[in-house]
Amino acid sequence: MKMKTIMLVCAAGMSTSLLVMKMKKAAEAKGLETDIFAVSASEADSVLEQKNVDVLLLGPQVKFLKNQFQKKLASKNIPVDSINMQYYGMMNGEKVLEQALSMIG
């Protein structure tokens, strides 16, 4: 199974860093090879130019950017969604990981 690259985008990249750690732990527990990282909304475009990602998840504070990212990434076939508010609020790394993996298919 090839490595899955999951990019989280939030306002400043701070609050999602805890979620990234929890998602990495959940992936490890499942024996999955993943590259999970968070960037701020202002860095997202330049990161997407340099790195191939399998899925992009938006933190609740930047979910208004969803349409913008969907348009930009449609040609690259990268699914975009916002992180479930409840999972984000509870910092439920396992559920957010499941959400991301279900989008990759």
Structure confidence by residue, pLDDT tens digits, 53-90: 999 999 999 999 999 999 999 999 999 999 999 999 99
Query: Does the structure show a pLDDT above 90 at 12?
Result: no
Collapsed DSSP state (helix, strand, coil) of residue 31: coil
For 61, what's the count of Cα atoms within 13 Å in the CB-facing half-sphere? Answer: 12
pTM: 0.94
**Where does the chain have alpha helices with state H?**
15-29, 41-50, 66-73, 85-89, 93-104
Query: Does the structure show a pLDDT above 70 at 8?
Result: yes
Residue 15's pLDDT is what? 74
Q: Which residue has the tokens 């399998």?
A: 54
Which domains are present in the chain? 4-104 (3.40.50.2300)
Q: Is 10 a catalytic residue?
A: yes
Q: Which candidate in 10, 19, 38, 44 is catalytic?
A: 10
Structure confidence by residue, pLDDT tens digits, 22-62: 999 999 999 999 999 999 999 999 999 999 999 999 999 99
Neighbours of 82 (CB within 10 A): 19
Q: 13: pLDDT confidence band, cut at 50, 70 and 90? A: low
